[in-house]
Structures are given as C-alpha cells and as structure tokens.
Structure 1
Amino acid sequence: MKGKRQQFANPKEAHQEGIYLIPQEPLIFPHMTIEENICIGLKGNRKKLKVKVQQLIDSLSWDIDLNEQGGSLSIAQQQLVEIIRGLIRDAEILILDEPTSTLTTHEIKSLFVLMKSLQEKGIGMIYITHRFPEIFEISNKVAILRDGTIVSQGDVGDYTYDMLMEGLLPKGYKQKEKREIVQETERTKKILEVKNLTSQTFGNISFTVHAGEIVGIAGIVGSGRTELAEAIFGLKAIKSGSILLEGKAIDTCSLHNRLSEGLVYVPEDRARNGIFSIVSVKENVTAACLQYNNRFFINREKESALVKSFIEKFRIVVPSMNEELTSLSGGNQQKVVLAKYLACNPKIIILDEPTRGIDAKARLEVYETIEKMKREGLAILFISSDVEEIVQLANRVYVMRNGQFVSHLEKEQISVEEVTRLAYGGVTE
C-alpha cells in the first residue's frame, strides 16, 4: 500500500490504511436504525455524520428514512447501506464485491456516477463482478481470476466479451450456444396453477406451470416477484385467490404440508434463508428432507450416499461433505442450496434469483442443472432480474411490474429487447 508491502491481521488494520471492503452479502443489524448501521464504529459529531450520510443517500437518489430499522430493508436497500457505509469512511481503496447484483438499472447508474466522481477525487476501486457489460462501462483495467489465480490482466480496451468468458472457463470447456427459441415442451401435465392471487403487494396474478417446463417471471427489483414466490410457498399472507398443486388446493396448507406435497422454494437470499452457514455441506443438503431417516434415527449410510450423489451431479467443489458450508464459494453454496431442495423429490421448484452473485462459470453450471431438471420432468418457476438468462432458459415468460403481470410472452415473442421494454414500463402491444 503506497509502495509498502502490507499484510493485515484484521479488517480494522485495513481500514486504518484506507482499504474498505463492501461485501457481497449485506451485513445488516436488523434491530438498529439505518443511520446506526451506517455509522457503527465511527467517532465524531453525530449530527455532522448524519448530514454526511444524508448527502450520500441523496447522491444515490435513494428515498429512505434513516430512522427505519435495518431489518425492514430489502436486499437491494441493504446493499446500498453497505455502499454508503464504506463511502462515509473516506476509504482510499474501495473493494466492491458484486455491488450491483440486486440493484435496479437506475440505482446502478447512480452508483456508477458516484464511482466516477470518487475516481476523480483519487479514490481507487477494485470492482468484483460477473457482469461483463459493467466491466467495460466502469473499469480502466481488468484482471481475470480463475481457481485462485490471475490468468490474464491488462487495459480493459484490449479485451472483448469473448476474451473475458474464455479466460474464466477451463481449457476444453465449451460454452453452450444461446438459443433464439427455447425448445417447446409438451404441456400435458399441469403441476402448478395460480388463480387470481392477490396480496398487499400484488394483485390478480394467474398462471400455470406444467411438468418439464420452465416458466420465467421477469421484472425489476421491487416489482413483486419475490413476494409472489413467498406467497405461493406460504411465507406471505394472501387476501384472495387460489393455489392448486396437481389440481389440489394448497393455499391454506402449512409450509410443511406444501413441502411434503412437492412444492419447494429456493430463496434469493441464500445467506439468510437458504443455508445453515455453520454446519456441514452434508447437513445442509439433507436438512429439508427426512428420506434418509429410519423411524427414530438418521440412516448415516443413506445420508452420505445421497449427499455424494448430489456433489457428483452438481460438480460441487468441496474437499469433504463434512466441510463447513462457509468455506465454499458463492457458486458452490448455491449448488448446495439446489441440492438441499431437490433432495425432497419435488414436483415443482421455485427458483428466485438462483444465479445472484455467482461467477460466469458457476452460472453456466447452474443453467445446465436447471435444464437437466426440466428434462427430468420437473416443473420450474424461474424468477430473475437478469433478462438474458430468462430469455435463454424459459419456455414462457410473464413480465411483472408494480405488482401486476403486464405481459405473457411465448416462443418467438421472447427477446431481451421485448422483456426489458415491458419490465421498465413499455406498453403491451
């Protein structure tokens, strides 16, 4: 740092040298106010700090009350708190780990404007992302990291999209060609049917998902997609409407009964809802099902065989199934989450942002896993703010905006341009 070799024993030492990390998974204290979350550990006049915080919030065009509790924030808002927490400390080097993974287009643009302003003031930034367009938009230089090693680095102008992808993938790994139209599936067996579902955050939602079909729900953050998924799974209350699983009403069923009936939900926030971070990979995979149990005891042999099969099937990189989950990369953690719910032998799986915060190689592997699930006859409800992956994977797409379905697209109607236009306010033709 400034010509001097440094090795920091803890984050405090790095902060003292002007280095601050904005982590991928937000670290928010739910029972503290937003202001307290941002200013925690800072010394100085509280009124002056609050003014500075408010100025940063205004520069991001963020309409929020600093007195609100941290636990009331969405993931996108939590990420913004992390960004402001780093900026208020006047770091000389900011390390931003996937800072835009859950931000809207407007929020991303505001962040980039702020980053360029900070750059002009002499602040250096390390920007970690799997979103290639952002690299070309915001970066001066680029370094490609694969398996813990920098395999290439240089001026960003010397690279193309294909060069970045090639650098991330192992030799001999061929990227699957993107299909203009996803192969149509026979809609012979209706698995999930939602009729006029209404809650406080969305209204009159109706759709179906068939066996062996991927139905995409596209929309920006805040459009109501996650709330819809949570309502279907029984995590959010509904005002009216019905949910049918193979023709059987489940809208009054408990979470346990929905799971036993074959409905599973993989949440967008894997750190909070999808994993048990301090237990082993094996325990995480088998946490949601009891098929490996005898009446009173866990059958360890069946448990290990089940976990081993998923490690091989999903190519989970882990030294041992007894390894603590926190030691795995984000991509491998997400594979463990998928394995956890697929171990229940579901009829339909709801995937909410399944590739959030994972690298390009892991994304391709998750895509392949999802398509394999489809070929095996699983019904899949696929929620994503990444329009390209919705277009690539889905047989049909519903576009959601302000708590409403604004369009239903099929076959040749589905394109990045059309889905984006509808998600951001375009009129249905």
Structure 2
Amino acid sequence: MKRILAIGIFLIPTLAIAQGGFMDRLKKKVINKAEQKADQKVDKTIDKGFDKAEQAAKPGSKPADNTAPSKTPAATTSPAAAPAPQAAPDAPAAPALKSHSKFDFVPGEQIVYTENFEQDAIGELATGWNTTGTGEVVTLNNFPGKWFQVHQRSFYLTSNQKEFGENYTVEFDVIMQVKYNGHFLPYFSWGIISTNGEPSTGNDFLRNYRKYGSIETIFYPAEGGRSQLGIHTYNAARGYYTGDQQNVPVLSDFFGKPIHVAMQVQKERLRIWADKDKILDAPKAVALGTMMNQLFFEIHSSSYKEDQYGMFISNLKVAKGIPDTRHKLVEEGKFSTTGILFDVNSDVIRQESYGVLKNIADVLKENGDIKVKIIGHTDSDGEDKKNLDLSKSRAASVAKALQETFGIDAARLQTDGKGESVPVGDNKTKDGKALNRRVEFIKL
C-alpha cells in the first residue's frame, strides 16, 4: 500500500498536536521509571519483528517457509498449493468468532478486482501499478504469501481497470513495523477515486486524483496515546464530506501483525472497519453518481529512515453488488460466497468472516424448516487430492462455526467438498482464482 496504504485520504493534523502528544509522552517517561522500562521491553519486541521482516524484504533474500502456522492469523491468498490440510481443531471453550461479534461487514457479491501479488517477481514493483516513488514485492518471515512494501513520500495507484458500481466493498490487509524513536510517525492514507473514463493508472492521477471524485481516509498514528482516523470525500475537486476524526486503538496494537481494513459503499452511505472495530458509518458521505474505479495508497513524510519503518499490504479485494442471501437461499435454493475466508492452506476460518456467517445464520434462524448442504471449493493451484480434502474440511469448519457461534442445529447441516473440480472462473487469472475459492450453500 506507494504512498500506500492504509486507510486513506487527506487531513493533515497540525504539527502542534503531534508535538504535544510527544511532549506528554516525554514527561511520562521522565516521571515514571517503571513505564519507561515497560516501553523499552515492548520496543525490543517490535525491533526484533521488524528486523526479521526487513531482512525478508530485501531483493534476493530467501522466501520464508510458510508451511508452519503463525501465532497471528495471516491473510489467505490461495486455498491450494500447500501441505496437506490439517484437521479442524477441537471445539474451543468459547465460540471461535466471538472476538469479532461486532464485525458486521459483508463483502459485495461480484468480484471486480483482486491482488495478492502471487504472480509478481520479488523485489519488483507490482505489475500494472503506478507510483511517484518506489515499491517492491517482498516475502515476510512470519506471514505467508507475497506483500507489497510501500515507502514514505510515495503515492500508488493499483492496476485495476474496472468500475466499482454504486454499491461495492473494498478490503485489504496491512502490516506496519516501527522502531519508535520518540518522533511523530508518518501518516498513511488510502482511498478510492474516479478517473471518469480516463486511464486509471494515468500519471495525471498521481497528483490530481480529486478532479472527478474521491473517498480519502488517513490514519494518524500516535504512540503512547489514541491514534486517530480522518475521512474526507470530494466531488469534482471540491470538498463534499468531512467526518470528525475517530479514535482507534493505540499504535502498538497494530505493530507486527496483519490488520484487516474493510470499506462498504452503498450509494451515499460509507462504512469503514479496522479488524473488528467499526470506525465510521456515515449515511451521506459519498456524492451520488460518482463512478469510482481506482484505489490509491500513500505514506507521508517523517524523520524515520527506511530501516526504522516498514509498511506492507496484500490481499486487496473489490467486490460490487449487495448479496441477497435470503432470496437466493430460500427462493432460488442456492447461495455462493467468496466472503468466508480461511488461513492459508488451512480450514481455520478468519475472524473477518463473522459478518457473512452471521448473515447466513440469520436466514437459517428465520426459516427454521430449511436444511442446507455446505460445499467447499478451491482454485486449481496444488494437487487435486489435497484441494479436495481441503475443500471438505473447510465446509466442515463452516458448519461447526454455524453450530457453535450462532446456535444452528447440526441436524440441519450437511457438508461436502468439490476441490477444484467445479470452477466458475478462469484459474489462469487472479480474479478467476478468487471466484473459485468459495463456499456454497444448497437448500435441501
């Protein structure tokens, strides 16, 4: 995420505020020795993780062995091409998705754009992207798949060429590594823009990206206090909506692990989540009639050097439309979704799948006589047999989650898996593979 990343558009907070936060922290360190020691311990942990990520990010470095599971769930990129799937773990004492019980995000129905950099060369700029600076595809020691490292004083446009429509969702994962040295940290931004029929990666939009319309979010990281998120939207280069800056968890909560960012636009309504937390729900934030078709990322300037600060993004997904789960399952007898996500080459459901599973569970609760068969599907990467086994174990994990987290009677659920045998997209393309990695619900 080359001026990349994360949540973004532009509100530049005053330097006085940033310096004030720093002075408060400095005073606390002088007064409270115990707090200082605790901070040093945290900093050492952060430094260690950053050094590993930095080493892996260097061009020519050996890719990490991603077969061993990480303590922190990593973003899934492909359900195939991996070691044999592991059996689902024993039932936890509490529902597995309870920590995301407020995450009501449901992705769009039709995939428009996906990007996990799997086809890009390590050390090179992502294929089809444009930037004012530099950036490179890397691997990280502790997280599977490929990631795009973005740098300060750089602005990035993705390779997308398609319009999003008037109802759509945007998702991505971001990892931030910081060696905090007492100075204020760089702000990082992300957003969406309209190029109004002009080439979506044209050089003009690296600078003049607001001329037709945009939705911009900027994250103001604050160590030792509450970080904040600001949102602006524009219509024909003029300000359209400015939201109050929202508090988000302290910066250290984001260090060294993937954060899942999600945005949903339904005509005028704009909603944004960071992991399980809903940050914004504005009913009239987006100008009607503006057809968005491009994502951007940016990291702003700071006094930090490249070996002190790292930002990595992956698993971008744009999907349009609003899933009509009730109509499709109850009346048409079949509902398919790419919104139930799993750890890489695993049947462990990712926490951000909560909203989709809750939506399905609500339909089943409202229609108590319906029984369904849950069928898992994969793309064609990897061995046929492993894909088949993985698809079956993932379907079983979905059934288990519906039972344990949402109270659906096990007698109403059957499971099966088809592996890669029933594709609905072209397995030679990234978007096609994403379509094939799906879970179907068939009314019995």
Whether TM-score is above 0.5 comes out as no
* Higher relative contact order (Cα pairs below 8 Å, separated by 6+ residues): 2
Name the structure where strand makes up a greater proportion of residues: 2
Name the structure where helix makes up a greater proportion of residues: 1
TM-score (norm 1): 0.29
TM-score (norm 2): 0.29
